[in-house]
Each structure stands twice: as C-alpha cells, then as structure tokens.
Structure 1
C-alpha cells in the first residue's frame, strides 16, 4: 500500500509539533522546579526576618516603657531636690550639713536617671532602625513571592496552551522575583517603595 505524500507530511509535522510541545513542557517543568526551590529558600529566610521584626518591635516597646519609668523617677527626684533646696534655705545651721548631703545625693540620682534615660532612648531608636531594616527585607521577600507566584501561574498556562511566547512572558516576573529575593537574601538596598505602597 502506497502512502499519500500529504499524509506523510502531516504526520511529520504532527511529530515535530509533539516534540516541540514535549520540549516546552520539559522546560516549563524545570523552570517551575527551580522557581519553587528559590521561593522556598526565600520563604524560610522571610520567616526569620518576621521574627527579627517582632523582636525589634518588642524590644523597642520595652525600652520606651523603661524610658518613661526613668523619666518619672527623674521628675520625682527633681521635685524632691527642689523641696530639699527650699527647706535648706530656712533650716537651722545645725541641719544644713544633712540637707547638703541629701541635696548631693539627689543631684547624683538626677544625673544617673538622666544618663540611663538617654541610654534607653538610644536603645529604643536602635530597635526602631533594626525594625525598619527587617521590614524592608520583609517587603523584598513579599514582592519576590508575588512575582514568583505570577510566574508559576503563567507557566501553568504555557504548559496547557503550548505557547512559547507565554514562556518568554513568564520570565519577566521570574526575573523580578529572583531579583527581589536575592535583594532580601543579601540585604541589597533595592526597595521599590512605590510598589509596596501600592500593594499595601
């Protein structure tokens, strides 16, 4: 039985299409595996970053609370010092030494509270800076996760439709996702604040 030349060409074209489709599916599968692995690494680091943010926030609250306590102690010491000075002005000469000693003690207490209060303020400000750095990294990881999710969705459609241009299109959010993930992993100062403001 003799084969029809057109049928042979059709079969050859169909085989070529199936081979091309198989290559595209394999490329999609490998890309999804790589993107997913990178996404998991970023997610694990992001979880650690969130813990860092929570710790910095808790420390900041504690330091400001201690700052306020020191401020109250300073005000009480200041009021006591003022009362001692007023009382010393009208006290008999025999009691003056006792008042001077008490005034010196309260002046030392006042200076100590001021010093400790400033240390706490500095620590609270450092906690705020640590929180902001961790928050920036968290934003980077969130953007990476979003871009990688878009990539996987586009790759799923690519696998279903066998359209190579969709694969190329999927590489745009993939590159952005990897870039933002690397920025988070390596603490690069890359932060599209306009985009995070738009999405939050």
Structure 2
C-alpha cells in the first residue's frame, strides 16, 4: 500500500500572491534596514556630542568655581594689593568668560540630546516596521503551506502596518508606536 503525496499546491494563485507579498515586503524591509542603520549612526554621533557637551559644561563650571574660590582666597590672604591686583584681574576675566561660556555649552548639549531623541523616534519606527514585516512574511509562508487565504489576509494586515511604519520613518512623520515600543523596549 503506497501513499503518494503531491508536492504541488492546489491553489497556485494563492502561492503567487504569497510570492509577490514576500518580495515586496522583503525589498521594503531591506531599504528600511539601510535607512535605520544610517539613523543609528546619527544617533550615536548625537549622543556622543551630547555627552561631550555636558562634560565640557561641567569642566567649565568647575573651572569657574575654582577661579572664584582662588579669587576669594587671594583677596582675603594677599598681603600686598599691588602685587595681587593683576592676578585678581586675570581671575575676574576668567570668571566672566566661564559665566558666558557655561550657558552656551548647556544649550548646545541640550540641543544634541533633543536631536538624539528625534532620531530615536525614527529608529523605533523602523524597528517596529521590521518586526511587523517579519511577522507578515512568516504568516504569508504559513498561508502558502496551509493553503489558507485568510492567513494571507492577516499577513497583508501586518505588512500594511509595517509599510506604514517604514513610510513614517522615511518621511519623518511623528507617528510613534508607543505601545509596541513600550512592550519591546
């Protein structure tokens, strides 16, 4: 008693739709991956610049504090006003410079941190797009194996959501998959 199992699909139209779906989603996912990689690099640069900016701000504030303390000590302890006057004048110039420089450095560091946050929204969009499209491709594969059209419809729903999120990332739209990011983040 031999049982012959046919490897041919009964519904070739379904398989063609699955194949087209997988190709479209795979190509779009590849393009999103390239863009997401570039965004991640920009995020790293923005974060590095922000950290450097805050370090420079802290160093400037520390130098200001040291100059102010030095000035106060010299003013109190110097036995000769004539000899201490040039030193005090130099410290006054440094203190004035640090008072101007510190707020500028803080503003720049905050700008870089905000830039990082803006990039992060788009990174999350591409990550969620990748997850949705991967799920769509997996469901499409199962729909071909099970020869079930409704599963292909579910794959298209996930794929459409993934395409939407990827488009948001490419076009700079502010939509953020907050719930998905919260669950996966």
TM-score, reference length from structure 2: 0.88
Unaligned runs of 5+ in 2: 1-8
* DSSP 3-state at the match of 1:189: coil
CA–CA separation in structure 1 for the residues paired with 2:134 and 2:112: 33
Whether 2:50 is the aligned partner of 1:60: answer yes
Whether 2:151 is the aligned partner of 1:163: answer no
Unaligned runs of 5+ in 1: 1-16
> Which residue matches 2:164?
179
CA–CA separation in structure 1 for the residues paired with 2:136 and 2:92: 66
CA–CA separation in structure 1 for the residues paired with 2:181 and 2:125: 9
Q: What is the CA RMSD across the aligned residues, in angstroms?
A: 1.7
CA–CA separation in structure 1 for the residues paired with 2:177 and 2:28: 21
Give the counterpart of 2:123 among 113, 138, 162.
138
How far is the alpha carbon of 1:87 from its aligned partner? 4.2
Residues 65-144 of structure 1 mapped to structure 2, 5 A cutoff: 65-87=55-77, 91=80, 95-96=81-82, 98-144=83-129
Deviates more, 1:76-85 or 1:182-191: 76-85
Q: 4+ residue stretches of structure 1 with deviation over 2 A?
A: 83-88, 98-105
CA–CA separation in structure 2 for the residues paired with 1:114 and 1:175: 54
TM-score, reference length from structure 1: 0.82
How far is the alpha carbon of 1:26 from its aligned partner? 0.9
How far is the alpha carbon of 1:85 from its aligned partner? 2.6
* DSSP 3-state at the match of 1:190: coil
Q: Which structure has the greater CA radius of gyration?
A: 1
CA–CA separation in structure 2 for the residues paired with 1:87 and 1:150: 74
